[in-house]
Amino acid sequence: MLILKNCTKSFKKTKALNDFSCEFKHGIYGLLGPNGSGKTTMMRCICGLLSPEKGSIECDCENIGYLPQQFGAMKSLTVYETMRYFATLKKIPKSNQDNEIRYCIDLVNLSDKIKNKVGSLSGGMVRRLGIAQAIMGNPEIVLFDEPTAGLDPEERVRFKSLLRKIKNDKTIIISTHIVSDVKSICDEIVIINEGRNVVQGTCSDITSIGNEKVFLLDEEYENNLEGNYYVKDRISKDNKNYIIVLSSNFIEQGVSINADIEDGYLCALKDI
Ligand SMILES: Nc1ncnc2c1ncn2[C@@H]1O[C@H](COP(=O)(O)OP(=O)(O)OP(=O)(O)O)[C@@H](O)[C@H]1O
């Protein structure tokens, strides 16, 4: 169990976290929010790299695994040596280190690179090495800051199955602004904006925020739109231009379409 209560963390005048509260049980949580909304700051506070000036963080576990947004490893070390370094930092007993390292490296599909220098790896491979060090030692809480950034489609799928394999009895938090990344893997989603917890719920809870608020509309009616609305997309079909609009008002000239999770997320963010 991990509980953040009324946490505020400021950098000069910027409140990166602003009275943020959230409760995480076991399961996979997607932390969704736009750039600069406070996701990284929240993760850094949970693992103790930053201290909130107000509020508290309660956690009943000893081990936290963390993949930072910018995972840097020494280029001159091999994959195995890097993992050995992290295993020592994590105080994994020497006798278990080799097994742990090989197990985690295999989970991220880097076994054939185990003797290669980090400097010779591609960006996506370094990311996977970062994921491997985060899960090593079987931590009860794992924080992944944009884990799928730079991963090819096959490796994104592999990451999802890795999550399913390791999720038992863990709290896993995945920060991202890619909505499609979270919908198939997360038990619950937390939407953060300007350092605040906007809403928390299952994927269907979040999707339902957009219900009856999504319309396909001929672009020529755009100037007539009133109230709180947001043009989510522009599409062309049969030489005509259309917009997809999220609107709290019913749009008579438009065709109502089913909301997906991204619509719900945008409605929550834009207060539609
Ligand atoms: N070390 C720092 N010094 C000054 N300002 C910071 C620092 N770290 C974060 N901030 C500011 O705090 C706010 C939240 O930043 P944070 O990195 O937590 O957002 P984020 O949601 O992770 O963004 P992104 O999706 O772009 O990674 C931003 O306005 C950012 O500029």
255 and 231 in a common domain: yes
Identify the domain containing residue 259 by its residue range. Answer: 207-270
Tell how far the Cα of 16 is from the centroid of ligand 1, in angstroms.
Answer: 6
Regarding whether 225 and 152 lie in a shared domain, the answer is no
Asked whether residue 198 falls in the same domain as residue 246, the answer is: no
| 38 shares its domain with 56 | yes
Contact 186, 206 (CB under 8 A): no
Ligand 1 proximity of 193 Cβ (cutoff 6 Å): no
Q: How many angstroms does the Cα of residue 147 sit away from the middle of ligand 1?
A: 17
CA gap 168, 179 in Å, rounded: 23
Q: Which mutation among 11, 46, 144 tests ligand 1's pocket best, with the greatest number of atoms within 8 A of CB?
A: 11
223 CA from centroid of ligand 1 (Å): 35
Cβ 130 vs Cβ 98: under 8 Å: no
Looking at the structure, tell me whether residues 198 and 230 fall in a common domain.
no
Q: Using CA atoms, how far apart are residues 44 and 66, in angstroms rounded to an integer? A: 9
Residue 46's SS3 state is helix
Contacts of 46 (CB under 8 A, 6+ apart): 2, 4, 57, 59, 64, 141, 143, 173
Atom of ligand 1 nearest to the CA of 37: 21
Decide which of 162, 180, 202 is a domain's last residue. Answer: 202
What is the per-residue pLDDT across 34-51, written as a single tens digit (0 to 9) for each? 999 999 999 999 999 999
Rg (CA), the chain: 21
Residues 23 and 112 in one domain: yes
Q: Domain end: 153, 168, 202, which one?
A: 202
pLDDT tens by residue, 50-70: 999 999 999 988 899 999 999
Q: Are residues 171 and 215 in the same domain?
A: no
The enclosing domain of 137 has a CATH number of 3.40.50.300
Residue range 223-236: mean pLDDT, rounded = 94
Reported ipTM: the value is 0.98
113 and 222 in one domain? no
Tokens 């107000």 sit on residue: 54
Domain count, the chain: 2
Q: Which residue has the higher pLDDT, 185 or 171?
A: 171
Shared domain check, 124 and 6:
yes
3-18: pLDDT as tens digits: 999 999 999 999 999 9
- Note the pLDDT of residue 178: 78
Please tell me whether residues 194 and 231 are part of one structural domain.
no
At position 37, the amino acid (one-letter code) is S
Q: Are 216 and 194 contained in the same domain?
A: no
Question: Among the three residues 150, 183, 202, which one is the final residue of a domain in this structure?
Answer: 202
Are residues 17 and 73 both part of a single domain? yes
